[in-house]
Amino acid sequence: MTDDLCVTARGVSKIYPGTLALHKVDFNVYRGKVNVVIGENGAGKSTLMKILAGIEQPSEGAICLNGEEIHLKGTRDASERGIGIIHQELNLFPNLTVAQNIFMGRENTQYGVILDHKKHIEKTKMLLERLEHPIHPDTPVSDLRVGQQQIVEIAKTMAQQDLHVLIMDEPTSSLSTAEVEVLFRLIEELRGQGISIIYISHRLEEIMRIGDYVTVLRDGKLVGEEKVKNIDIPWIVRSMVGHSDTKMNYKQEKPIGDEILRVESLTLPRRGGGYTLDHISFSLRAGEILGIYGLLGSGRTELIECIMGMHPESTIDMYLEGKKIKPTSIWEQIQKGFAHIPEDRQREGLVQTLSIARNMTLASLWNYTKGIHLLHKKEDDSITKTIKDLEIKVADKNLPILSLSGGNQQKVVISKGILTSPKVLLLDEPTRGIDVGAKADVFKIVNKFAAQGMGIILVASELKEIIAIADRIIILSNGQATGELSGDEITEESLVKASGKGHTSGKLENIS
């Protein structure tokens, strides 16, 4: 028996200035199945999803829903037909609360006019409990970490009534193992209810586990469609990038030098009592890649932010090359030799109104000045070289940063940090949304810098990835260091075990 089609795209093209993002693409969405879309960064995945969700209009071609051609005029139009989307770039309003975001545009009324706040709070609680992530509904979104925002995005789409098609554009890019499991259970449940799911991810194992069908895009064109049960990971890599080198071990022999950074008794008090980070101490040597692993809310991002001087309420004894320093602000820390690649590329990593090129050299402009003059040629050469090294897919480096695909924006965030040539590089989820081929490029560069004597601290939520690159890993759980592993001790099992220690879940907590 062949599966029933729910949505189809026929001969869909999308032209942006300077880019043919999609070229005559046919795409099938099977009813009650998980339909995976894969392709390198910039292949056209998000563009196709935006067309199916009514956000963008196709330049040519047709979209059919249940066999009937539809013309979606906007997201509301799509949502009325039961199509919901979880965006790759988080789309929440930072100044509003979780509940306000979830019910934005579909507010419940009481007696016809009054917004039913109580109802929103109750429903929000229910949705978040279903996602096993009890964030308080009144928490402002600006207090949430990227991973938590991702959960709120998911809840927001789940709040939509009569959902038939659910598009998930990299829903797990900031989630770690335990949180991915919860989402997968939810996906299975939705699939069981006959909801058609479109799932995009660069995490290949996820695709093999959750997918029923897979469609491959390359350079805006359809490469093919297969049933997941007929393929394997080498097939995915081959059809995405043209070769099937799937070994994930980025470790390189490199000299490890003297201690470059020492952190003693790093403490960040939590508002309302307790600690977000509870007396954490560690040292980092030149050339070493130190991984930090932990679940959402473990304090992994805050640890990096405290080193960068972003939390004035923290206390920390810190020594850089043996000299005591006080982290008071980001700019001071950058000048002392720290570079920070933040997890939230939209809010902290990029200036959205600037061009690709300007964003890249924003933190290192002093390298390209002589007196009051900007050394354009030197700056240009650095930018061109970095675009090539990281294979950033740009039509023109002077275009706005928002014209890049998600993964390519992330590569610009990485360039911005490494162009400052720091002594200590702090990477928070550097490969978020980066495709399998480009991950190897990013880690090659990280290794190159380590080999030159830079000290590197890396937060990564994908288990396999942190294992493949880190020399040593500190595990955080609930703000405490619950383990430290190096060499052969680093296994998936030992990491999962240590990251669950002392973890309290199921309790409604205010994140802030």
Taking the complex as a whole, the smallest distance from the CB of residue 45 to Mg ion amounts, in Å, to: 5
Taking the complex as a whole, the smallest distance from the CB of residue 419 to ligand ATP amounts, in Å, to: 21
408 interface partner picked from Mg ion, ligand ATP, none, CB below 5 to 8 A per type = ligand ATP
Taking the complex as a whole, the smallest distance from the CB of residue 434 to ligand ATP amounts, in Å, to: 8
In this chain, which of 408, 420, 461, 499 binds ligand ATP, going by CB under 6 A?
408
Measure the CA angle with vertex 240, ends 234 and 244; round to 5°.
Answer: 30
**Which residues, 6+ apart, have CB-to-CB distance to 224 below 8 Å?**
215, 216, 239
Examine residue 44 and tell whether it contacts ligand ATP (CB under 6 A): yes
Q: Which amino acid is at 78?
A: A
Distance (Å, whole) CA 237 – CA 227: 15
Distance (Å, whole) CA 362 – CA 364: 6
Q: Which of residues 54-93 bind ligand ATP (CB under 6 A)?
A: 88
Nearer to ligand ATP, 434 or 454 (CB): 434
Residues facing residue 113 across a β-bridge: none
Distance (Å, whole) CA 218 – CA 239: 8
41 interface partner picked from ligand ATP, Mg ion, none, CB below 5 to 8 A per type = ligand ATP
Examine residue 397 and tell whether it contacts ligand ATP (CB under 6 A): no
Examine residue 405 and tell whether it contacts ligand ATP (CB under 6 A): yes
137 interface partner picked from ligand ATP, Mg ion, none, CB below 5 to 8 A per type = none
Q: Which sign does the torsion angle of CA 93, 392, 407, 198 carry?
A: positive
Contact 131, 154 (CB under 8 A): yes
**Which residues, 6+ apart, have CB-to-CB distance to 471 below 8 Å?**
251, 256, 288, 289, 290, 486
Distance (Å, whole) CA 512 – CA 496: 26
19 interface partner picked from Mg ion, ligand ATP, none, CB below 5 to 8 A per type = ligand ATP
Examine residue 88 and tell whether it contacts Mg ion (CB under 5 A): yes
In this chain, which of 8, 25, 33, 42 binds ligand ATP, going by CB under 6 A?
42
133 interface partner picked from Mg ion, ligand ATP, none, CB below 5 to 8 A per type = none
Nearer to ligand ATP, 84 or 483 (CB): 84
DSSP string, 144-159: S-HHHHHHHHHHHHHT
Nearer to ligand ATP, 43 or 304 (CB): 43
42 interface partner picked from ligand ATP, Mg ion, none, CB below 5 to 8 A per type = ligand ATP
Distance (Å, whole) CA 428 – CA 301: 7
DSSP 413: H
**Which residues, 6+ apart, have CB-to-CB distance to 400 below 8 Å?**
352, 353, 354, 355, 356
Examine residue 174 and tell whether it contacts ligand ATP (CB under 6 A): no
349 interface partner picked from Mg ion, ligand ATP, none, CB below 5 to 8 A per type = none
Instruction: Report residue 190 as tokens.
Output: 């939705």
Size of site (CB under 6 A) for ligand ATP: 21
Examine residue 41 and tell whether it contacts ligand ATP (CB under 6 A): yes
Examine residue 172 and tell whether it contacts Mg ion (CB under 5 A): no
Nearer to ligand ATP, 47 or 415 (CB): 47
DSSP string, 139-198: SBGGGS-HHHHHHHHHHHHHTSSS--EEEEESTTTT--HHHHHHHHHHHHHHHHTT-EEE
In this chain, which of 12, 39, 148, 495 binds ligand ATP, going by CB under 6 A?
39
Q: For ligand ATP, which stretch binds (CB under 6 A), given 15-23, 144-152, 248-256, 442-450?
A: 15-23
Examine residue 215 and tell whether it contacts ligand ATP (CB under 6 A): no
Q: Which sign does the torsion angle of CA 99, 105, 106, 112 carry?
A: positive
420 interface partner picked from Mg ion, ligand ATP, none, CB below 5 to 8 A per type = none
Distance (Å, whole) CA 246 – CA 203: 12
**Would you say how long the chain is, in residues?**
512
Q: Which of residues 388-407 bind Mg ion (CB under 5 A)?
A: 405-406
Give, rounded to a whole angstrom, the gap between the first and last alpha carbons of the chain: 52
Examine residue 406 and tell whether it contacts ligand ATP (CB under 6 A): yes
Examine residue 440 and tell whether it contacts ligand ATP (CB under 6 A): no
Q: Of all residues in this chain, which one has the CB nearest to Mg ion in the complex?
A: 46
Examine residue 19 and tell whether it contacts Mg ion (CB under 5 A): no
Q: Which of residues 34-63 bind Mg ion (CB under 5 A)?
A: 46
Footprint of Mg ion on this chain (CB under 5 A)?
A: 46, 88, 405-406
Footprint of ligand ATP on this chain (CB under 6 A)?
A: 16, 19, 21, 39, 41-47, 88, 393, 403-408, 433, 435
